Amino acid sequence: MHFIDLESRLVRIREKVDSRIATVLDHGQYILGPEVVELEETLADYVGVKHCVGVSSGTDSLLISLMALEVGTDDEVITVPYTWISTAEVISLVGAKPVFVDIDRRTWNMDPVLLEQAITERTKAIIPVGIYGQPPDMDPINEIAGRFGIPVIEDAAQSFGATYKGQKSCGLSMIGSTSFFPSKPLGGFGDAGAIFTDNDELAEKFRWIRVHGQARKHHHPVLGLNGRLDTIQAAAILAAFDVFPDEVGRRQKIANRYNTSFELLGEEKLTVPFILRDCTSVYAQYTILVNDRDELSSHLGSLGIPSVAYYSTPLYAQEVFNDLNFEKKNFPVTEEISKKCLSLPMSAYLAEEEQKKVTESICGYKRNLL
């Protein structure tokens, strides 16, 4: 059983991928070729914003966003400690300080109630994260940020394709950032990412920064990096996008089957993902909370069922941030969730009989503990 079934997906789209890549090989425009422009236009239309800028990875999409906002030394950027390290890593890379606020107990995303008290005169950006595929509660986050004049970067590496009150993830704030890493809902065939905005000036700076700060040939008004999206990667993602809406629907059906199978256990034994009203998730991961996470994971492994405890070491506990002197007592929800979280097999191609093996194994294990 695969934790994420990329093989079945490739079988479905292989002919389109091969055709798209062959076209690139024929025209030979490997750097910022026509497929990059086509993908940017396609995704901007899908999200409902003016601009999409393809870049080399999800990490670089965040880094370029911060560089375009001129975040730097002595600045602070607020984010969450329950996420992949790249969200905080890029803050430190531009010379700023990551400031963590705890997560909401139900959604496991940024708790807007705690956001305002973390803002100081040095706060230059806020990066909420759409963990496991559900966008953050963006209305209160945007309202607070707006009162202080602070830009918001939605880290939608896991939530691209999800919706918040009818709007697509990546179009919920000044800047949206996503990743097309192979395991993501819209996965490419290597590293790739994109930045979204309605702001013309920012979009122009994103495009400069991704090519070493170059506005036109041999003219560099800002510092940049080599952050371009390769044409072959864009071509492959275009092929994948053809089936992406269908895959989102499949993921949601699989999540609903998980929920139905687990509901009789009761929340004291197993907590399923909570989705905000008027929102959807793309279920980049299907993650449960259990008190005996390590024991259950070991039991599943003995049956040939893969599972992963993502973010079991929160960012404030990572050695690289020791000098910032974060105290775990300030993050009680993250402490709790990080000890209980367990992600189960999830992809658009998880077979119903495989899923049944997962749910029956977990339910049987839990009932035997009585």
Domain CATH code at residue 108: 3.40.640.10
| 256, 118: one domain | no
Starting at the earlier edge strand, list the strands of the sheet with 123-126: 97-100, 76-79, 123-126
pLDDT band per the 50, 70, 90 thresholds, residue 367:
confident
pLDDT of residue 274: 97
- CA dist 241 and 184 (Å) reads 12
314 and 183 within one domain: no
- Same domain flag for 74 and 218: yes
- In angstroms, rounded to a whole number, what is the distance separating the alpha carbons of residues 49 and 42? 11
220 shares a domain with 76: yes
User: What integer is the mean pLDDT of 347-354?
Assistant: 97
**pTM attached to this predicted model:** 0.96
Residues 280 and 328 in one domain: yes
Please report whether residue 97 resides in a domain. yes
Interval 208-236 mean pLDDT: 96
Where a domain ends, among 211, 241, 271? 241
Q: What is the arithmetic mean of pLDDT over 336-362?
A: 97
Mean pLDDT of 1-24: 97
pLDDT of 342 > 70? The answer is yes
As a whole number of angstroms, the distance between CA 179 and CA 284 comes to 12
Q: How far is CA 216 from CA 200, 222, 225, 257, in A?
A: 17, 12, 15, 52
Once rounded to an integer, what is the mean pLDDT over residues 231-249? 98
Query: What is the arithmetic mean of pLDDT over 123-135?
Result: 98
User: Taking 60 as the threshold, does the pLDDT of residue 88 lie above it?
Assistant: yes
Mean pLDDT to the nearest integer, 355-364? 96
**Could you tell me if 64 and 149 lie in one domain?**
yes
298 in the same domain as 320? yes
The single-letter code of the amino acid at 5 is D
What's the confidence (pLDDT) of residue 10?
97
Predicted confidence at residue 30, as pLDDT, reads 97
- Write out pLDDT tens, residues 46-82: 999 999 999 999 999 999 999 999 999 999 999 999 9
Domain residues for the domain of 61 are 6-241
pLDDT of res. 266: 81
Residues 215 and 250 in one domain: no
Phi-psi region of 300 (alpha: psi -120 to 50; beta: other; left: phi over 0): alpha
Helix (H, G, I), strand (E, B) or coil at 100: strand
**77 - beta bridge partners?**
98, 125
At residue 241, the pLDDT reads 98
* Pair 156, 260 in one domain: no
Question: What CATH number corresponds to the domain at position 329?
Answer: 3.90.1150.10
In a domain, 1, yes or no: no
Distance (Å, whole) CA 32 – CA 41: 13
Does 60 reside within a domain? yes
Q: Give residue 370's pLDDT band: very low, low, confident or very high (50, 70, 90).
A: low
Tell me the residue length of the chain: 370
Question: What distance in Å separates the CA atoms of residue 167 and residue 156, rounded to the nearest whole number?
Answer: 13
Contact 105, 333 (CB under 8 A): yes
Task: Find out whether 158 and 76 touch, Cβ atoms under 8 Å.
Answer: no
Helix (H, G, I), strand (E, B) or coil at 92: helix
Query: Is it the case that residue 134 has pLDDT exceeding 90?
Result: yes
Question: In this structure, are 190 and 331 located in the same domain?
Answer: no
For residue 65, give both structure tokens: 């966003």
Tally of domains in the chain: 2
Q: Which residue has the tokens 């275009």?
A: 238
pLDDT at 265: 86
203 and 83 share a domain? yes
pLDDT-derived band of residue 173, with 50, 70 and 90 as boundaries?
very high
pLDDT for 267 equals 76
pLDDT 10s digits, 137-148: 999 999 999 999
Q: What is the mean pLDDT of the chain?
A: 97
The torsion defined by the Cα of 233, 237, 238 and 244, in degrees rounded to 10, comes to 180
Question: pLDDT of 276-326, one tens digit each?
Answer: 999 999 999 999 999 999 999 999 999 999 999 999 999 999 999 999 999
Cα–Cα dist 86/68, whole Å:
17
Domain boundary residue, one of 199, 222, 241: 241
Q: Are residues 64 and 122 in the same domain?
A: yes
From the number of C-beta atoms within 10 Å of its C-beta (0-12, 13-18, 19+), residue 123 rates as buried
Residue 179's H or E segment, with its range, is strand 175-179
Could you read off the pLDDT of 247-269 as tens digits, one per residue? 999 999 999 999 999 988 887 78
